[in-house]
Chain A
Amino acid sequence: MSSNTLPALPALYEIEANAAWRRIEFISDLHLSAQQPRTTAAWTDYLVGSQADAIFILGDLFEVWIGDDARQPGRFEWSAAEVLVDAASRRTMGFMAGNRDFLVGAAMLKACGVAALPDPTLLSAWGQRVLLTHGDALCLGDEAYQAFRRQVRSEAWRHDFLLQPLATREQQARMMRDASQASQRRQTAADWVDVDAAAAVGWMNAAGSRELIHGHTHRPGSEVLAPGYTRHVLSDWDCDSEPLRAQVLRLTRDGFTRVDLVP
């Protein structure tokens, strides 16, 4: 891809770590649903036990989110929201939408006491400027997905989708997921689209940041993308099927570490 087509850094939202904070943790891609009870339980335990002063969820916390009105007693969305309420009573919680749960809205986050993090968000902590994104906006190699993303992230699509009855939305979400899984099955691991390195460095540079944290690709690791520019990729979580995966990226004054919440 030629450099003149790289997406510019979207309007940058900035947050600053509280001076008293000692530990910030990042998670993403848990893909929680009623069908993932063990992953949901591990996530709940983590939120209770973590000693972090702030936890930022960088997208795809939920396998799917069909609207904040799905948060009704007896439904999975309700119990998950209760976990977030409890977590937010213990520390600062932030939520950035991913490609699965981009319909999590202000009503849900307000009810939970969780701060909305636009994608991207720049976090300043202990003198470092860290750029946070889910990552899908930078996966430029998948042009079909980028077109789909532009469509479903538009205000018009969101408005029309949310007007439909809950049952209809559930059915549509299921169809979209099946189509996405079928297309993923046609690809091998090597084909999976990654973040465009030039675009990622461009975003970091424009934000005055040297470190990027993203999820989405399910390929955890830290990597120098260009001299002086590092990205930290978050792990997905799956405690319902081995190999179990439940990893947290931790930032302290001393830098980044990864914590595996599996034995």
Chain B
Amino acid sequence: MTKTVEMTTSAGVLRIELDDEKAPLSVANFLAYAAKGHYDNTVFHRVIKGFMVQGGGFAPGMKQKPTDAAIANEANNGLKNKHYTLAMARTSAPHSATAQFFINATDNTFLDFKSESPQGWGYAVFGRVVSGMDIVDAIERVSTGRKGGHDDVPLEDVLIQRVVVV
């Protein structure tokens, strides 16, 4: 089973298929944040060409938003960090993902699950962009710089305006 959401951004609309069979926790988590409007008026705050675009944690002006509890890492679900897939961002602790996610801008094999050890957990893929790939490409290419103590921040905000289930 999959669920589809539409993510409206200032660069255009992404249609995203969420795999709630293989990544039930991550999908439920993402939909819960979406339902309460957490992602509305947040930015893609970290954009690295040839790698990924990351968002879901900061309001414009690099103001970090509060999050709910961290979820378990579902990277062992067989889904790979292919181009245009969505995965949960986290700290170096394997089970620390909250609201932030990233869209892979290339096949990032090195982010895939290897083993259930602190050395091999990898990053949990839970969905993929099924239309609006050109929007992802456009976001990936924006000019970036240093802002609010962070690097690779788009110089002009790329906003997520809303995320709705369709």
- Smallest CB–CB gap between A31 and chain B, Å? 14
Q: Which chain A residue has the least Cβ–Cβ distance from B122? A: A242
**CB of A179 within 8 A of chain B?**
no
- Report yes or no: B49 in contact with A51, Cβ–Cβ below 8 A: yes
A-side contacts of B146, CB under 8 Å: 254, 257
Number of interface residues of B (CB under 8 A): 27
- Report yes or no: A45 in contact with B51, Cβ–Cβ below 8 A: yes
- Report yes or no: A45 in contact with B108, Cβ–Cβ below 8 A: yes
- Report yes or no: A263 in contact with B110, Cβ–Cβ below 8 A: no
- Smallest CB–CB gap between B122 and chain A, Å? 8
**CB of A71 within 8 A of chain B?**
no
A-contacting 9-mer, from B1-9, B13-21, B113-121: B113-121
**CB of A198 within 8 A of chain B?**
no
With A38-B110, A239-B110, A263-B102 as known contacts, state yes or no: A45 contacts B118, CB within 8 Å: no
A-contacting 9-mer, from B22-30, B36-44, B84-92, B156-164: B84-92
A259–B121 Cα gap in the complex (Å)?
22
A257–B54 Cα gap in the complex (Å)?
19
A49–B151 Cα gap in the complex (Å)?
16
**CB of B136 within 8 A of chain A?**
no
> Interface residues of B: mostly helix, strand, loop or mixed?
loop
- Report yes or no: B111 in contact with A242, Cβ–Cβ below 8 A: no
Interface bin, chain A: 20 to 34
With A38-B109, A241-B120, A263-B123 as known contacts, state yes or no: A46 contacts B151, CB within 8 Å: no
**CB of A172 within 8 A of chain B?**
no
A49–B134 Cα gap in the complex (Å)?
17
Q: Which chain A residue has the least Cβ–Cβ distance from B111? A: A263
A-side contacts of B67, CB under 8 Å: none
**CB of A261 within 8 A of chain B?**
yes
**CB of B139 within 8 A of chain A?**
no
Query: Can you report 20 A-B residue pairs in the complex whose CB atoms are below 8 A from each other?
Result: A38-B110, A41-B109, A42-B108, A42-B110, A46-B50, A49-B48, A49-B49, A49-B51, A241-B120, A242-B94, A242-B118, A242-B122, A243-B92, A254-B146, A257-B146, A258-B151, A259-B151, A261-B48, A261-B51, A263-B102
Residues of B within 8 A of A (CB): 48-52, 54, 87, 89-90, 92, 94, 102, 105-106, 108-111, 118-123, 146, 151-152
Q: Given contacts A241-B120, A263-B54, could you give 5 more A-B pairs where the C-beta distance is less than 8 Å?
A: A45-B50, A49-B50, A263-B89, A263-B90, A263-B123
